[in-house]
Structure 1
Amino acid sequence: MAHLKLDLTASAPKDERGATATEYGLLVGFIALAIVLGVTAFGTALNGFFNDLAGAVAALVF
């Protein structure tokens, strides 16, 4: 009885390329989302800066 051992890891597939590709895909997706959010926030702030600058220049000219 002591020699009977159930080894579940031996029957598990050793090929994990699909899981790794999925993990990398999720990672790339999250990085892309972070970049889009960062660029959007920066663009909004930059738009506000240039609107303020345009208002200041218009006040000086007119």
Structure 2
Amino acid sequence: STRSELESGKSGEEIALELIQNLMDQGVRTVYLVPPIFRGGRRDYDSARRVIESARRLAS
């Protein structure tokens, strides 16, 4: 599960990229990525940007 992967030390970015790669392998070409949202509503837009940039490299 995603929770166990996170607890074992895998980064959320790695997990997101694996999921995106699986979707791409199934023919999905677009996704809507929501940045991580922390308590208090703070969002990690830098993390989302890194995932998007990496996913674009996977697609090319």
- Give the TM-score of the pair, scaled to structure 2: 0.31
> Greater relative contact order: 1 or 2 (C-alpha under 8 angstroms, separation 6 or more)?
2
Q: Which has the larger radius of gyration?
A: 1
Say which structure is richer in helix.
1
